[in-house]
């Protein structure tokens, strides 16, 4: 069972060193008029948020943790007096969906891809009638989760959903497996703005536990074809199309490095022991260095499994 996102001190320090825009956490940034980005605090496990103001309502991207939602909700009100009518879960992970109850209680309809709800049903087994799942595990460590309840999305789309009031158009797309099997992207074609959830991050915070790196690379190739000029990731500061390019390039380089060891006949133990050397080599490439975690064992392990390997021995 995967556990709630907990950011280790070493990773926090890396964020502080690697991302000058870290100072922008918990501030509202205008992407284009009427479209906003809010960088979440990694020290509290918070995701980023976004929101789009329509003529009659506001559309919010990601519910965050409950404590994250409590920070973002008043900031949305500062930018618009219109009600929040829709909240999208870009995927099923706790830091993007566990704040759902707060938004729903405030009158919002919760949206996700069909695949995201299917993933939620696999891991939030306590809510859906099975043994205790990730929600219960998270509630044991986070008071904000313990004080609330799980609220699944109720409006689902298999592939595409469009919100268009004649002035503002927002397209929700599912392109395939990446960070999870249910990743949703938010595309504003007129403004060329893209919100990616954790399918793209901007820093050393890629969680690969529920994804498939080989498929992720292919999906990001489709995403690149949108032609986004401004990219708002799930974690880390916003930027331009280089976020998509560099995210994909990191995974390609990682995959290549592990495959070289597999092709050389290295054992699981030898590949595990090669993780520090792999990390050092990946950091030599400037545009992908920021994606290399202090200990990327989970990333190497994921690629190795996808190439037919086994779980690393302890």
Residue 18 has pLDDT above 70, yes or no: no
Please, which residues bridge with residue 61 across strands?
A: 50, 88
What would the CATH number be for the domain defined by 9-240?
3.60.15.10
Residue 21 has pLDDT above 90, yes or no: no
pLDDT of residue 23: 67
Do 62 and 89 touch, CB atoms closer than 8 A?
yes
Residue 16 has pLDDT above 70, yes or no: no
Mean pLDDT in residue range 1-27: 53
Q: If pLDDT is split at 50, 70 and 90, which confidence band does 305 have?
A: very high
Residue 56 has pLDDT above 50, yes or no: yes
| Count of C-beta atoms within a 10 Å radius of residue 225 | 8
Mean pLDDT in residue range 239-256: 98
pLDDT of residue 22: 59
Do 104 and 149 touch, CB atoms closer than 8 A?
no
Do 193 and 230 touch, CB atoms closer than 8 A?
yes
Do 116 and 91 touch, CB atoms closer than 8 A?
yes
pLDDT in tens, 186-234: 999 999 999 999 999 999 999 999 999 999 999 999 999 999 999 999 9
How much of the chain exceeds pLDDT 70, in percent?
A: 93
pLDDT in tens, 133-172: 999 999 999 999 999 999 999 999 999 999 999 999 999 9
pLDDT of residue 118: 98
pLDDT of residue 5: 46
CA 35 to chain centre: 19
**SS3 per residue for the chain:** CCCCCCCCHHHHHHHHHHCHHHHHCCCEEEEECCEEEECCCHHHCCCCEEEEECCCCEEEECCCCHHHHHHHHHHHHHHCCCCEEEEECCCCCHHHHCCHHHHHHCCCEEEEEHHHHHHHHHHCCCCCCCCCCHHHHHHCCCHHHHCCCCCCCCEEECCEEEEECCCCEEEEECCCCCCCCCCCEEEECCCCEEEEECCCCCCCCCCCCCCCHHHHHHHHHHHHCCCCCEEEECCCCCECCHHHHHHHHHHHHHHHHHHHHHHCCCCHHHHHHCHHHHHHHHCCCCCCHHHCCCCCHHHHHHHHHHCCCCCCCC
How much of the chain exceeds pLDDT 90, in percent?
A: 92
Residue 303 has pLDDT above 50, yes or no: yes
Dist CA 291 CA 250 (whole Å): 7
C-alpha distance from residue 8 to each of 15, 28, 41, 166 (Å): 11, 25, 13, 45
pLDDT in tens, 80-127: 999 999 999 999 999 999 999 999 999 999 999 999 999 999 999 999
Dist CA 253 CA 89 (whole Å): 29
pLDDT of residue 297: 97
Joined tokens for residue 176: 């395939």
Dist CA 290 CA 283 (whole Å): 8
Using only C-alpha atoms, the chain has a radius of gyration, in whole angstroms, of 19
pLDDT in tens, 287-296: 999 999 999 9
Domain ranges of the chain: 9-240, 253-306
Q: If pLDDT is split at 50, 70 and 90, which confidence band does 24 have?
A: confident
Half-sphere exposure of 225 (CA within 13 A, CB side): 7
């Amino acid at each position: 069972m995967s556990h709630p996102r907990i950011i280790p001190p070493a990773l926090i320090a890396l964020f502080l060193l690697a991302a000058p825009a870290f100072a922008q956490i918990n501030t509202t940034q205008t992407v284009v008029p009427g479209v906003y980005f809010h960088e979440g605090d990694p020290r509290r496990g918070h995701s980023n948020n976004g929101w789009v103001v329509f003529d009659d309502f506001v559309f919010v991207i990601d519910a965050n943790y409950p404590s994250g939602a409590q920070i973002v909700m008043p900031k949305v009100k500062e930018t618009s007096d219109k009600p929040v009518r829709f909240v999208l879960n870009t995927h099923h992970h706790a830091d993007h969906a566990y704040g759902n109850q707060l938004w729903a209680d405030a009158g919002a309809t919760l949206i996700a891809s069909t695949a995201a709800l299917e993933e939620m049903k696999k891991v939030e087994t306590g809510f859906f009638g099975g043994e205790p799942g990730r929600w219960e595990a998270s509630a044991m460590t986070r008071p904000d989760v313990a004080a609330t309840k799980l609220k699944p999305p109720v409006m689902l789309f298999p592939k595409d959903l469009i919100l268009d009031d004649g002035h503002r158009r927002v397209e929700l797309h599912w392109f395939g497996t990446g960070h999870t099997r249910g990743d949703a992207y938010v595309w504003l074609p007129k403004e060329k703005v893209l919100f990616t959830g954790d399918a793209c991050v901007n820093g050393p915070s890629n969680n690969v536990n529920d994804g498939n790196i080989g498929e992720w690379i292919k999906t990001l190739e489709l995403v690149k074809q949108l032609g986004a000029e401004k990219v708002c990731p799930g974690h880390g500061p916003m930027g331009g199309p280089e976020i998509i390019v560099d995210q994909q390039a990191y995974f390609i380089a990682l995959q290549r490095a592990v495959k070289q060891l597999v092709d050389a006949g290295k054992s699981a133990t030898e590949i595990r022991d090669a993780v520090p050397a792999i990390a050092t080599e990946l950091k030599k490439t400037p545009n992908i260095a920021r994606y290399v975690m202090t200990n990327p064992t989970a990333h190497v392990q994921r690629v190795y499994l996808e190439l037919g390997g086994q779980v690393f021995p302890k």
